[in-house]
């Protein structure tokens, strides 16, 4: 153990990255829904500091880490912060945050008065309880000593673990129901028509018998794909391309119409073409009304078949467009370029 301690103290940068890696691993451990997440790095660092106290990195590393942390927070939430200053919901959130900070400050002052603590310790307790390293740096600069760091080191672990534990208990006790869109957007399903009750019916009549949030954007009939139209008459063995934000609704539609037929529509691009478009331009994303204006400016043969939101990527749109090219020609790239060019020209 002494050899390991000596190694860690002689290699502070190695200790730094080992601590981060170990903390990340510990944070991924989930016990009945409770995990520390990235906050586990703090507790691993506390253990490393106890075991090898001389392994602390140079002060410049801490300053750089704090700067990177503040920068990433500002870049990630800067837009939301300024939008919050002008919206009613944002002002309520900012007011709640202000009340929380004032309450924490009042408690810190009360503790300092009651327990006759040094003001530096009280400022450290205040900074650590809110996990505000920036406030700690300001306190140290004003006081000219490290007393604030002592109080900070005591309260910071509780400032990290306390909210995590309280949120876990709140969810366990209250069991709130949070509605989330399955698949993050519109789910898609190809359904082969097997129910004789739908034969000879128009698409509008068939839709009336399906769940309200199910839409049909394309139909494959007689080995050819076509955009969905209300007057289109369904026949036996037709395949419909159905979309919905609800997987249960799609499952119910499949039960009523027939059976799933994956790939029957999307694999054949001889009559219909489709492409995926990342909606990143500011004037085409946002409220539904704005997206509707974009759809109206496209050809009438274009349909939105799927919208998907990825945690780290923008929402994806798949536009389906009728193609007049023969089946043996290359047709997907020209149509994709054509639609993208129209979008770019009309939204500048």
Task: Give me the pLDDT at residue 334, please.
Answer: 39
Mark which of 201, 229, 264 sits at the end of a domain: 264
Cα(43)–Cα(152) distance, rounded to whole angstroms?
Answer: 14
Q: Which tops the pLDDT comparison, 316 or 130?
A: 130
Residues 223-241, mean pLDDT to the nearest whole number: 87
Cα(165)–Cα(148) distance, rounded to whole angstroms?
Answer: 25
Contacts of 190 (CB under 8 A, 6+ apart): 239, 240, 241, 242, 260, 261, 262, 263, 264, 265, 266
User: What phi and psi values does residue 277 have, to the nearest 5 degrees?
Assistant: -125, 125
Closest listed residue to residue 77, CA positions, set 97, 60, 63: 97
CA dihedral 160→166→168→174, nearest 10 degrees, is: -160
| Number of domains the chain is built from | 3
Task: Give me the pLDDT at residue 39, please.
Answer: 74
Residues 189-194, mean pLDDT to the nearest whole number: 91
β-strand partners of 221: 224
Task: Give me the pLDDT at residue 343, please.
Answer: 45
Mark which of 264, 286, 307 sits at the end of a domain: 264
Same-domain pairing of 157 and 214:
no
Phi/psi-derived region of residue 333, left when phi > 0, alpha when psi is between -120 and 50, beta in every other case: alpha
Strands (E), the chain: 187-193, 215-221, 224-227, 239-244, 258-260, 272-278, 303-310, 313-322
pLDDT in tens, 9-61: 888 889 999 999 998 898 888 877 677 777 788 788 888 888 988 888 887 88
Same-domain pairing of 30 and 158:
yes
Structural domain including 35 reads 2-174
User: What phi and psi values does residue 66 have, to the nearest 5 degrees?
Assistant: -65, -40
The model's pTM: 0.46
Residues 253-277, mean pLDDT to the nearest whole number: 82
Closest listed residue to residue 277, CA positions, set 328, 326, 319, 235: 319
Q: Which tops the pLDDT comparison, 31 or 327?
A: 31
| Per-chain mean pLDDT for the chain | 78
Mark which of 119, 149, 174 sits at the end of a domain: 174
Same-domain pairing of 86 and 24:
yes
Answer yes or no: is pLDDT of 263 > 80. Answer: yes
Are 339 and 319 in contact by the 8 Å Cβ rule? The answer is yes
Task: Give the distance, in angstroms, between the CA of residue 140 and the centroid of all CA atoms in the same chain.
Answer: 37
Same-domain pairing of 247 and 289:
no
Give the position of tokens 């060019």.
341
Cα(65)–Cα(257) distance, rounded to whole angstroms?
Answer: 58
Same-domain pairing of 129 and 68:
yes
Task: Give the distance, in angstroms, between the CA of residue 86 and the centroid of all CA atoms in the same chain.
Answer: 24
Task: Give me the pLDDT at residue 122, please.
Answer: 92
């Amino acid at each position: 153990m002494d050899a390991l301690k000596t190694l860690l103290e002689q290699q502070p940068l190695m200790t730094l990255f080992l601590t981060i890696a170990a903390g990340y691993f510990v944070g991924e451990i989930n016990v009945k829904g409770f995990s520390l997440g990235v906050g586990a790095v703090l507790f691993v660092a506390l253990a490393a500091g106890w075991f090898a106290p001389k392994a602390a990195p140079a002060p410049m590393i801490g300053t750089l880490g704090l700067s990177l942390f503040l920068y990433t927070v500002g870049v990630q939430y800067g837009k939301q912060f300024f939008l919050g200053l002008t919206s009613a919901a944002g002002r309520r959130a900012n007011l709640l945050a202000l009340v929380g900070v004032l309450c924490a400050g009042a408690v810190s002052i009360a503790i300092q008065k009651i327990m006759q603590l040094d003001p530096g310790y009280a400022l450290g307790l205040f900074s650590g309880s809110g996990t505000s390293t920036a406030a700690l740096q300001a306190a140290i600069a004003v006081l000219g000593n490290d007393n604030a760091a002592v109080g900070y080191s005591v309260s910071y672990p509780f400032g990290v673990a306390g909210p995590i534990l309280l949120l876990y208990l709140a969810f366990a006790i209250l069991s709130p129901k949070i509605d989330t869109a399955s698949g993050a957007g519109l789910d898609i399903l190809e359904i082969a028509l097997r129910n004789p009750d739908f034969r000879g019916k128009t698409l509008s009549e068939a839709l009336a018998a399906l769940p309200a949030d199910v839409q049909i954007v394309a139909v494959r009939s007689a080995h050819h794909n076509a955009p969905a139209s209300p007057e289109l008459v369904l026949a036996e063995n037709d395949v419909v391309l159905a979309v919905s934000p609800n997987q249960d609704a799609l499952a119910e539609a499949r039960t009523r119409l027939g059976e799933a037929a994956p790939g029957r529509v999307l694999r054949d691009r001889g009559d219909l073409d489709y492409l995926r478009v990342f909606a990143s331009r500011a004037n085409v994303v946002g409220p539904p009304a704005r997206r509707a204006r974009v759809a109206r400016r496209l050809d009438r043969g274009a349909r939105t078949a799927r919208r998907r939101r990825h945690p780290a990527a923008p929402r994806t749109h798949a536009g389906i467009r009728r193609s007049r090219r023969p089946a043996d020609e290359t047709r997907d790239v020209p149509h994709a370029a054509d639609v993208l060019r129209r979008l770019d020209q009309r939204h500048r």
